[in-house]
Amino acid sequence: MRIKRKKEIEHKRITVGDIGISYLIREAPAIQEASKAKLKTIPETHTILFLHGFPFNKNMWIPQLEDLPANYTGIAVDVRGHGNSTMGHGFFSVDLFANDLLEFMRKMDIKKAVLCGLSMGGYIALRAHELAPEKFSALILCDTNSLSDDNAGKLKRFETIKSVLKHGTRAFSLTFSQKVFSKQSLKNNRDAVQLIKSSIRRNNVRTICATLLALASRTDTTQHLQNIEVPTLLVWGAEDELTPKSQAEILQKNIPNARFVELAACGHLPSLEDIEGFNKEMNAFLVGLN
């Protein structure tokens, strides 16, 4: 199952370092209209970059790309090894993912952007901001955290690796999809559940295992939170069991300009579970930046 994308959303590819990065782009309607009218002066626009969670792909952000303010160009990328992006040398780390993003921005000539990341995408966003804060005008962090895995968390990821190696991606997609949605979403949002199952199965075993090791070894970015001076929106699913509200409170407490929003009846994926509610908060935040 795929979320159908409108024709104004284009699927493109670019070579970045040792990999090919696949991405979706919806150019700002303001630019499209100026081009059609053959205007000499192009209106000022902004860019927002979307980073998916583990082990999904860029398609999870199609509902957001379709509903951005008219002066925003939206780009959703496949993280190295996920979706249609190649995996290169295969030795993954969150630091590598963050550097891939910064190089992608350089190749695309994106001087500055809003960065929106969910779960693993949030880990990458925090690390990318730590590496190059001047590249980002604002952050949207969804169901993520700044903490590195403790020993119990590492061991849980190692157990998942063993399970994936033994039972494959199909079995993993069935069990993991049950964890990321609220009970209401599992019952009533079949399209979103099927999309996530399909996204997981499209990744190979090597990618899933390499990414689990990357997540287990990621650095702790909590000390950096106080250095985030840009406006930051925190969006959380009220029934998220993977990243509890206590982890959102760490972000809210330590990021100077952070605002917290909780979406009812959502689990780990509020951008898919409550598209209307998520987009309303996202767009109000984006419009407020201008």
- Are 273 and 237 a contacting pair, CB within 8 Å? yes
* 33-42, 170-179, 199-208: least confidently modelled range: 33-42
How much is the CA Rg of the chain, to the nearest whole Å?
18
pLDDT band of residue 251 (cuts 50, 70, 90) is: very high
pLDDT of residue 68: 96
pLDDT of residue 44: 77
Q: Is residue 123 part of a domain?
A: yes
73-117 tens-digit pLDDT:
999 999 999 999 999 999 999 999 999 999 999 999 999 999 999
Mean of the per-residue pLDDT values for the chain?
94
Amino acid symbol at 82? H
Q: Is residue 118 part of a domain?
A: yes
Q: Is residue 100 part of a domain?
A: yes
How many structural domains is the chain composed of? 1
Distance of CA 289 to the CA centre of its chain: 20
Average pLDDT over residues 277-290: 96
Average pLDDT over residues 36-43: 62
Which range marks the domain in which residue 170 is found?
9-289
Q: Is residue 3 part of a domain?
A: no
Burial class (CB in 10 A: 0-12, 13-18, 19+), 229: exposed
Residue 267 belongs to domain with CATH number: 3.40.50.1820
Q: Is residue 85 part of a domain?
A: yes
Q: Is residue 1 part of a domain?
A: no
Q: Is residue 150 part of a domain?
A: yes
Q: Does residue 59 or residue 44 have the better pLDDT?
A: 59
133-164 tens-digit pLDDT:
999 999 999 999 999 999 999 999 999 999 99
pLDDT of residue 40: 59
Distant-in-sequence, close-in-space partners of 189: CB < 8 Å, separation ≥ 6: 181, 272, 273
45-73 tens-digit pLDDT:
899 999 999 999 999 999 999 999 999 99
Distant-in-sequence, close-in-space partners of 213: CB < 8 Å, separation ≥ 6: 92, 157, 161
Torsion angles phi and psi, residue 175, rounded to 5: -75, -40
- Its pTM stands at 0.95
**Plot region of 83 (φ>0 → left; ψ -120 to 50 → alpha; else → beta):** left
Q: Where are the alpha helices (DSSP H) in 40-150?
A: 62-65, 94-107, 120-131
Average pLDDT over residues 171-178: 96
Per-residue burial over 116-126, b if 16 or more Cβ lie within 10 Å, else e, is: bbbbbbbbbbb
pLDDT of residue 2: 45
Distant-in-sequence, close-in-space partners of 253: CB < 8 Å, separation ≥ 6: none
Q: Is residue 4 part of a domain?
A: no
- CA distance linking residue 50 with residue 255, whole number of Å: 20
pLDDT of residue 29: 80
185-241 tens-digit pLDDT:
999 999 999 999 999 999 999 999 999 999 999 999 999 999 999 999 999 999 999
Average pLDDT over residues 11-23: 97
